Chains A and B, each alone.
Chain A
Amino acid sequence: MTNPTNIGRRTILKGGAIGTLYMAAGLPVLAVADFPKIEKAPLEFVQISSALLGIDASDLLRQVAPDNHSMADEYYSIIYHGCRSGLNKMIAKYRKVSRRLSPQQIGNLFLRADSSQPNAGIRQDEIGTAARLSMQMWLFGIWYGGTEMNHNPESISAIPKKYQNDFVLSSRAYKEGWIWRFAQSHPMGYSQLKFGHWAEPPPALQSYMPGTQLN
């Protein structure tokens, strides 16, 4: 496991890149002083993440070289401290519905105000908050506590003060972000690709998630 270093050098801003036109106001201050003790992620956390993201649990559980690091453990450790009540409620709910609902239905149930209505808004309770924060750690390697509160002011009661901001969890978390694989690309600033690969189409989406059944 990794115990990320240089936490003091993390900045605390909204996800961004060069000269964005969409920068919002209200940038909070970094409060996480130390990376919390690593907790072992229960299988339910990975299964919920799988339902949210559309990635098979076996792909999410793939250990990261060279030290067999578990991203699941890293993300679970953060949310265990950053939104524990929501996490527990999310897992409890999952246990109740996992046998009768499909992963797609579970994902919708955890994210939507009305699971059958895609444009009815977000689920605002602690389960919704825990689901979104989990999902975004997998996608970006970022804890979006500040962003969650901007979108969902009710979440303030679900997130301890020092997690009420946005920060990159670790450089490895950035490099392991799934959003780059969804784009069939690589994290900006990190790849193991070869010269000239950009002149050819990338490998098929399936090859980025070999254990996942794509439609």
Chain B
Amino acid sequence: MPTTEKTHYDVVIVGSGFAGANMAYMLGQKGKKVLILEAGPGIERSREDYLENFYLNTFKAPEAPYPPDATALAPAKTNVPRPTIPELVFNTWDAKPGRWREPEQSYLSYQQSQLPFASTYERLAGGTGNHWMGTALRMTDNDFKTLSDYGHGRDWPIGYDDLKKYYHQAENLIGVSGDAAEQQSIGPDFGDTNFPMRALPKSKLDQLVAERVNGKSLAVDTEDTTAQVTVTPAGRNSEPYQNRRVCRGNTNCTPMCPIQAKYDTQFALRLALDTGNVTLQSKAVVDYLTVDTSDLNTTGSNDEKKKITGVHYLTYDDISAPAKSGKTGENTVSADTYVLAAHAIENAKILLYSTKKNGVNIANSSDQVGRHLMDHPVYLAWGLTSEPVYGYRGPLSTSGIESFRDGGFRKQRAAWRIEIGNEGWNWPATDPYTTAQDYIYGTNTGQLNENNTVLSNAEYRDTCNEKLTRQFRVGFLVEQEADPENRVMLSETLVDHLGIPRPELRYNISDYVKAGFRSAKAASQKLHKLMDAKEYTKATTEVATHWFDPVDKSVYNYAGAGHVCGTHIMGDKPENSVVNDKQQSWDHPNLYIAGCGSMPSIGTQNPTLTMLAMCLRTVEEGILGV
């Protein structure tokens, strides 16, 4: 039987990831009584357990350490399923690429979509902040006004200056290592502030790219701009910080740093709990919000009438996939203020289901909930350098080329930033495994064994050494503009094991983004030439994440960046946005909808830092009302 929780909280937060954990920490510090409802399992007894999962997992995707088993591909039989890389990359038994069109195996379903959404997320304590890579770049001024400046996407109701002090707070909260003077030279104004820690050293590869490419032009439409390799600000310790160790370069920021030198959200969650004012309830799956519909049109002020009255959630025990048991109970908890911070896609799902369950529109008078789903589709490029650069060492990425993130070209095509990878061909080709097996089986899957040779002994050892030490890759993070047709909806038929409707997506890549990819391809070719490197970038129709570009008559592959944005975007009018500049629902004054879902544009930088800055502002200027 449904019961009603007796305890009253100041704030109930749905989700314990980057937004939820940090907002709880901030509120707890101010003496607010906070309940966090986390859909997945709670804080792990020991990090070693997750690490052991990672070591023993033959498919080391971002989800590898975390429950439920990402390879189970059984969303209808899993209590808290989530999208996974295996859904995208495992071929079907009849050799079709990916399982994304098979709803019995793919958590996200697609009815009319042409392309799969390529990013995934976590549902457990700490959320996707468990496997974030740590990149902590600020947005540029113009990223906040792409519509007015360039005629694409949406504008924010706030600008860089409104977030500036919160960026600084967020960098201190995370513990970002970086060089503010260098960052300022390529865009964002840091004023007289600096990062709390010095920058991480550049890798051997970074040094070679800088030597060969600095001061050179890369893109035909940015001839007046030249490349500059800069250290990427990152939530990785270059000094002991907040009782966490310095980075030892384990090349594993995603999916998890084995020594927690990278800040992750389980750390934030512990800080929140340590305030003594925050309670974490795990395995509590919020399915919908409630409103008091009985007197919706009779009593109270307009604001009173529209207030959220509770959060309904289901409980369960079994985190395995497929699960042996399902729902164990349900409950409704109430508070003065509610924060939805469950992830961009999950937030939209909860809001859409709330409307369905209540029979009245919840937070969606604008019809914008779920719309404007964005990511950074990534153009991966890879090659062999002419001299060893010794990859597979250091943090996954220590530097990037940010010089081309903004400019007049954004009227014609999407911008990109270049992330320089330190993990050889691990991302694009699953190396060292693929190449190492090519020389055992006489195959050429990784393209380095053109003659299909089978090698042994010293010939094998030295060939592997010679190839693996010269591998490098770059990733172009291409900005995707807000498009109302890229959207999260509620499936009419598909549910998870608890009976909660699953997200249905409609997703495509626009001509604007495709033009950005063509530009990235040309820049990659130039970069390889400048580096005296042989490029091995290869596009294939054998994976689901591809399109055929009629302009240059070639196939393009895209990867997901895990940067899921949009779905409840902020704006300056209730008619065309879901939340205001403080992430407060236009329709329900005691509801905040927080996270990357509120971002009206994604820019080219990894969005986590901006999202955290937004959430700190929401706490200070919104919930606490300072």
Contacts and interface: CB of A to CB of B under 8 A. Distances in A.
B435 to A, nearest CB: 9
12 contacts: A12-B58, A13-B59, A15-B433, A27-B71, A107-B457, A183-B392, A189-B54, A191-B248, A193-B248, A198-B203, A199-B201, A215-B462
A191 B395 contact: no
B422 interface: yes
B559 A19 contact: yes
Nearest to B464: A182
- What is the interface of chain A mostly: helix, strand, loop, or mixed? loop
Interface string A38-78: 00000000000001111100000000000000000000000
Contacts of B57: 10-11, 13, 168
Interface stretch (A85-93, A156-164, A173-181): A173-181
Given A166-B58, A196-B200, 19 more contacts: A6-B56, A9-B56, A16-B61, A18-B85, A19-B559, A23-B89, A111-B440, A111-B454, A139-B436, A182-B465, A183-B390, A184-B469, A185-B392, A188-B392, A191-B248, A191-B251, A195-B248, A196-B201, A198-B394
A16 B459 contact: no
B437 A16 contact: no
Interface string A107-150: 11011100000111110000000001001100110101001000
Interface in A181-211: 182-186, 188-202, 205
A53 B460 contact: yes
Contacts of B62: 18
Top 8 A-B residue pairs of the complex, sorted by shortest distance between their CB atoms: A198-B394, A107-B456, A171-B55, A54-B461, A185-B392, A25-B91, A189-B252, A199-B201
A195 B249 contact: yes
Contacts of B53: 9
Contacts, number: 273
A33 interface: no
B448 interface: no
B460 A21 contact: no
A107 B57 CA distance: 29
Contact of B58 (A14, A51, A108, A189): A14
B100 to A, nearest CB: 13
Interface string B419-442: 000111011111011101100111
Contacts of A147: 437
B133 to A, nearest CB: 10
Contact of A23 (B91, B200, B458): B91
A2 B284 CA distance: 38
Interface residues of B, number: 91
B457 A51 contact: yes
Interface residues of A, number: 79
Contacts of B71: 11-13, 27
A189 B203 contact: no
A55 B56 contact: no
B594 to A, nearest CB: 27
B183 interface: no
B251 A189 contact: yes
Given A6-B52, A151-B441, A52 B457 contact: yes
A194 B51 CA distance: 20
Interface string B34-62: 00000000000000000111111111111
A19 B118 CA distance: 9
Contacts of A82: none
Contact of B252 (A182, A188, A193, A205): A188
A18 B458 contact: no
B465 A183 contact: yes
B55 A190 contact: yes
Contacts of A196: 200-201, 249
B622 interface: no
B543 A21 contact: yes
B249 A13 contact: no
Contacts of B446: 22
A149 to B, nearest CB: 12
A15 B302 CA distance: 58
B114 interface: no
B226 to A, nearest CB: 24
Contacts of B440: 111, 122, 132, 135-136
B147 interface: no
B55 A174 contact: yes
Contacts of A122: 440-442, 454
B250 interface: yes
A119 B455 CA distance: 9
Contacts of B390: 183-185, 198, 201-202
Nearest to B458: A54
Contacts of A168: 55-58
B618 interface: no
A110 B92 CA distance: 34
B574 interface: no
Contacts of B398: 198
A132 B455 CA distance: 11
Interface string B69-88: 10100000000000001101
A186 B392 contact: yes
B202 interface: yes
A183 B432 contact: yes
B374 interface: no
Nearest to A4: B56
Contacts of A199: 201-204, 207, 394
Q: Tell me which of A55, A119, A132, A214 has the highest count of chain B C-beta atoms within 10 A of its own C-beta.
A: A119
Nearest to A167: B58
A29 B61 CA distance: 18
A191 B261 CA distance: 13
Contacts of A21: 89, 428-430, 538, 540, 542-543, 557
